[in-house]
Amino acid sequence: MSVSTVSARRQPRAIILLHWGSLALILAAVTVVLLREAFDDRGVRLALLDLHRDAGLLVLAATALRLAARLRHARLPAGDDPWPLRLAAAGVHLALYLLLGAQPLLGWALSDARGQHHALFGVLPLPVLSGADADLADTLADWHEGVAWGLAALVALHAAAALWHHYVRGDAVLRAMLPAAEADPGRLEAGLESRSSEV
């Protein structure tokens, strides 16, 4: 069994920080909107909904920065996987970026359609994407929920692929994105060599 050397290069720091920062923001957005259901107090529910909206808007900003960083560094290595796997990986990444951009925009438009115009952190008023419209709000709510489930499925698939690369392929795809490995870029290649000798 040979060990793949795909993606042994360290990912740029900006991409690593935006990757894990986006995950933290997504988890925060999901947590506060689920936590909201545990409260009957209208003020608490509104405060949690505002936090959900703020986290979603930060996800949108982080996604734009991630795309810019990805285009600047052009660090999606071809690797030595068969082309169908590379094509599938590229497709999942593209779908993730699309849904990470679409989901906050749907939530933003949904708030406007409900007549609940939002200001980021209660300070920065946002442009209005749609006028108040109950029917549109119902449609956008359905889309927002559907995209949330699609995004959850893609994130799970993305995580499963990273674990497959780490535990089955034995390559450095996962380690190249871990913040802890940042101190010594040579550790990635050294880890691969030691793993190769064990096989």
pTM, whole model, 2 decimals? 0.80
Give the pLDDT of the chain (199 residues) as one tens digit per residue. Answer: 344 444 446 778 888 899 999 999 999 999 999 999 999 999 999 999 999 999 999 999 999 998 888 888 765 554 567 778 888 888 999 999 999 999 999 999 999 999 999 999 989 999 999 999 999 999 999 999 999 999 999 999 999 999 988 899 888 888 888 887 544 444 444 444 444 444 4
Q: Give me the pLDDT at residue 196, please.
A: 44
What sign does the dihedral 166-25-13-72 (CA atoms) show? Answer: positive
**Eight-class DSSP state of 125:** E
Phi/psi for 155 (5° steps) reads -65, -45
Give the start-to-end residue ranges of the domains of the chain: 13-75+84-181
Q: 192, 194, 153: which is closest to 169 by C-alpha?
A: 192
148 and 175 Cβ atoms separated by less than 8 Å: no
